[in-house]
Amino acid sequence: MKTITTRRTVRQYSGRDIEPEMLQKLLAEAARTQTMGNLQLYSVVVTRSAKGKAALAPAHFNQPMVESAPLVLTVCADFRRTTTWAQCRKGTPGYDNLLSFLNAATDALLFTQTFCNLAEEAGLGLCFLGTTIYQPMAIIEALQLPQLVFPVATLTVGWPAEEPPLSDRLPLESFVHVECYHDPTPEDIDRFYKEKEELPVNREFVRINNKETLAQIFTDIRYTKSDNEALSKTLLQALRKQGFWK
Amino acid sequence: MKTITTRRTVRQYSGRDIEPEMLQKLLAEAARTQTMGNLQLYSVVVTRSAKGKAALAPAHFNQPMVESAPLVLTVCADFRRTTTWAQCRKGTPGYDNLLSFLNAATDALLFTQTFCNLAEEAGLGLCFLGTTIYQPMAIIEALQLPQLVFPVATLTVGWPAEEPPLSDRLPLESFVHVECYHDPTPEDIDRFYKEKEELPVNREFVRINNKETLAQIFTDIRYTKSDNEALSKTLLQALRKQGFWK
């Protein structure tokens, strides 16, 4: 996996299409990822049509790559197929609950990331859209997802038409704990975040937003308490609607 | 990533240790995985000591690889470090909610899977323990995880001392949907599950458990409705206790 250390999120794609055979190979290989009881509790909806992308775009706040990418993949936590299988086979399925949602979401996300690693190694450029769980009902409607299917990841996929700079990462000691968790002290925080806070691009970001600190960009603008609380409510409503909250 | 098509879960490990430098390299490379706002909402607790493994084992129903593997990694959804950072920098963090838990769990699981792909490519053998979210409180206590830290994945890691047969996978058409979701009919189910149901190992599994169908092995024995419902309650309690359920 030589590409991992040089990977970047790619949001601009060339006009070149992705051949169905290539996509199938990547999906089949990604499906070698381990899953719960080897049940493969996920499904993938492939959107290639302009109409399909236009239907998904609002759910992702109209980020341009949804419509400009040749391919949009929506990966779902899926207990539907397994439940139907059980119903057809005299089983008594009981997967309409929080644990089962998280089990299926886990399968879906692990599968998604192997797909990302494989696709990037094959030269494709990807953007992972965190917006998937912000407005899940809009995606559920656009893709006609039935009960016990819930979108957890969206990828826009294409051949790269940009090579953005590599993004920074926190030092290993900030997220690796030995034997037990070590709560960071204010001094630890200073050390962990120094490089990130001093990056010219981040300093400029703070300046143009009239903030004092980089952390405020996240708490006051990008991921605010009030947004998170409102979106948690709609997320819970969507989980109920899809039958994952008995 | 040549190893993906031949990977298998490995539960038996040789006595050979994993050098700290190798582990650090794999963790640093895995951290190239994309995360929400590049915040890296995860942490990893590395357990090498016999005492630490013994403390974790009951949480994983004493599956033997927890104590026999040279290394156990517990990957956690972590909004703690980011919240502390914000508090030290005049921010107003609001990540004590369901959306934020799922955002951090997503980061943690994507990171985990890149780690798996890298480690397997480097020749290591892994077992992903789905039991992590079954008894999260036991893990939270063993690893002293504070508020806003929640375990979502556990890997036992070592040099393989077995080469189990490759496991089966469902056909691509069972989990790939074009443009919108196509609910499987009973005929689809027959086709999708035929190979799995006819495998000699699975037929034997049905026979020795005195069941009629393979699906019943899952619904009646491995992942039952009553277990799932009880474990959903303790999962929700643990989310509340860790401060992710405002």
Interface test with B, best of A232, A240, A245 (most B CBs within 10 A): A232
| pLDDT, chain B, mean | 97
**What DSSP assignment string belongs to A106-175?**
HHHHHHHHHHHHHHHHTT-EEEEEGGGGTSHHHHHHHHT--TTEEEEEEEEEE-BS--PPPPP---HHHH
Contact B177 A46 (CB under 8 A): yes
Beta-carbon contacts of residue A246 (< 8 Å; ≥ 6 apart): A96, A97, B229, B232
In this prediction, residue A129 carries a pLDDT of: 98
Instruction: Identify the band that residue B138 occupies on the pLDDT scale cut at 50, 70 and 90.
Output: very high
Q: Which of A81, A110, A236 sits opposite B174 (nearest CB)?
A: A81
Query: Taking Cα atoms as reference points, which of B135, B62, B148, B142 lies closest to residue B108?
Result: B148
**pTM check: above 0.90:** yes
Only one residue has tokens 């992942």, namely B223
Residue in B with minimal Cα distance to A85: B189
Residues of B in contact with A4 (CB under 8 A): 29-30, 32, 114, 118
Q: What is the mean pLDDT of residues B31-38?
A: 97
Backbone angles phi, psi at B160, to 5 degrees: -60, 135
- CB contact under 8 Å between A183 and B99, yes or no, is no
Average pLDDT across chain A, whole number: 97
Token representation of residue B82:
């980011």
Q: What pLDDT digit, counting tens, does each position of A102-140 carry?
A: 999 999 999 999 999 999 999 999 999 999 999 999 999
In chain A, residues with a C-beta closer than 8 Å to the C-beta of B142 are 180
Residues of A in contact with B148 (CB under 8 A): none
Yes or no, beta carbons of A176 and B27 under 8 Å apart: yes
ipTM of the complex: 0.98
Nearest to A31 among B110, B169, B192 (CB): B169
A43: β partners: A76
Is there a contact between B143 and A180 if contact means CB atoms under 8 Å apart? yes
CA distance to partner chain A, nearest, from residue B177 (Å)? 5
Q: Which of A44, A179, A220 has its CB closest to that of B176?
A: A44
Give the three-state DSSP class for A95: coil
Q: How many CB pairs under 8 A join A and B?
A: 344
A-chain CB neighbours of B5 within 8 Å are: 29, 32
Region of A94 please: left (phi>0), alpha (psi -120 to 50) or beta. beta
Q: What is the pLDDT confidence band of residue B235, given thresholds at 50, 70 and 90?
A: very high
The C-alpha of A206 sits at a distance from chain B's nearest C-alpha, in angstroms, of 12
Residues A187-233: pLDDT tens digits?
A: 999 999 999 999 999 999 999 999 999 999 999 999 999 999 999 99
Q: What is the pLDDT of residue A243?
A: 98
User: Which chain A residues are within 8 Å of B48, Cβ to Cβ?
Assistant: 178-179
CB neighbour list of residue B6: distance below 8 Å, 6 or more residues apart: B166
Taking the CA atoms of residue B91, residue B95, residue B99 and residue B105 in that order, the dihedral angle to the nearest 10 degrees is: 110
Q: What would the pLDDT profile of A35-76 be if each residue is shown by its tens digit?
A: 999 999 999 999 999 999 999 999 999 999 999 999 999 999
Q: Is the pLDDT of residue A9 over 90?
A: yes
> Nearest-CA neighbor of A149 among A141, A157, A160?
A141
